[in-house]
Structure 1
Amino acid sequence: MSAVDDILGALPAEQISAQVGASPDEVRTAAAAVLPALLGGLQANAGDPAGAGSILQALGQHDDDLLTGGAELSAIDEQDGSAIAGHIFGDQQDEVVNRLGGLPAMGGGSGMGGALVRKLLPILAPMVLSWLANRVLRGGAGGGAGGAGGAGGATAPRADTSPSLPGGSGTAGGPGGLDDLLRDVLGGATAGPGGPASGGGTGSGGTASGGAPGGIDAGSIIGDLLGGILGGGRR
């Protein structure tokens, strides 16, 4: 099961739909586009040592068990989610929103898709960090792209919990440390067999081929869309 499938499976789509004014199926379809964009943005950040350190410090401050048993909307800090998304995408966030909203499965150029994407970013960003914290800091098992987690099931030590990702900074560990594990987990979550483009899970409400609702191709979102927008990623 892919990272996107893991998070979609915990998505409180009914609760979100009531808040954002879209149907649960529309929420799931949009989330299937937004999640790989957030994961790809984090991967771009993690390619830089300072960016990896900032992410690790953020993980230490975020709930690593938010998705267990299904996330509750009331447990998601949307203000924090807005800051997380803003740090990941920086001044390219509007472009990311417009590109995702323009996907055919999102209604093309109608503009409605972009509005839904913008509403979902602050909800989904904390869910992504929780998934990542579980894999990197706790060696989380079950689902997860690339069998992410500590080698042999060992639980990795927790990171320094001082600054958070929004505005945070710091240094990552040495070779073989948490920074390498972070990049491995994100690499498995965003590319290759078992990644979002080929996940076999059903998520909430079922999925189309490729493991994503509505025919969303998560792999091309990460490779084509984000590659042209983010380049080397945010630091």
Structure 2
Amino acid sequence: MSEIDEILAQIPLPSLAAQLGVDERTAEAAVRSALPALVGGLQSNAASPDGAASLAGAIEQHPATLFDGGLDLGGLDLDDGAKILGHIFGGGTDQVAQQVDADMGAQLGGVPEGAAGLGGGSGSLVSRLLPMLAPIVMAFLAKRLQGGGGPTSSAPSSGGGLQDMLGSILGGLGGR
């Protein structure tokens, strides 16, 4: 099982789909399309020593226990998610959401934009999903850093260690 699949397995898709107002297939496609963008943005941030140290500090602030007892989507801090996105993408979150929307449409078999809740802007499906996924990804990384077997367990603040862990997550996407 890839690490993306591990993250996805923790997310209650029926609840997520209901919150987003879409079917489960669309919710899963949205998550599978959005996760690489989030992880890739984190990997870019970890490329510099300052970025890696900042990311390591941020990861430590997110509870690895978020998944314990099942993930409660209602308990996610969406304001925190928006802050995380601001740190990852700067002012480019809307552009990332538009690209993820396009990727998701392709994953759903060329569904025209707008046909499944897609579309640009702050009200798009992906724009509503990203602040939910950001704290989930941070908690997943925290769990890995706290002994979950990730390559950074010995040096969590090193840029190479974080980049290796994030790269391994992205590397699992080859067969999607």
TM-score per shorter chain, which class?
0.7 to 0.9
SS of residue paired to 1:47: coil
Match of 1:183 in 2: 163
SS of residue paired to 2:118: helix
Match of 2:24 in 1: 24
Match of 1:100 in 2: 100
What amino acid sits opposite 1:122 in the alignment? P
CA RMSD between the two structures: 2.0
Which residue, 105, 108, 131 being the options, matches 2:140?
A: 131
Match of 1:122 in 2: 131
Contact preservation (8 Å) 2:53, 2:157: no
Counting only pairs closer than 5 Å after superposition, residues 1-235 of structure 1 correspond to structure 2 as 1-103=1-103, 104-105=106-107, 107-110=111-114, 112-114=117-119, 115-136=124-145, 138-141=146-149, 148-149=150-151, 156=154, 178-179=157-158, 180-191=160-171, 195-198=172-175, 210=176
Query: Which consecutive segments of 4 or more residues in structure 1 shift more than 4 A?
Result: none
**CA-to-partner distance for each residue in 1:11-50, whole Å, 9 max, x for gaps?**
1211122222111221111000001110010001000111
TM-score, structure 2 as length reference: 0.85
* Overall identity of the aligned pairs, in %: 37
Matched residue count: 166
SS of residue paired to 2:61: coil
Unaligned runs of 5+ in 2: none
Residue 109 of structure 1, CA deviation:
3.1
TM-score, structure 1 as length reference: 0.65
- CA 91–68 in structure 1, closer or farther in 2 if over 3 Å, else same: same
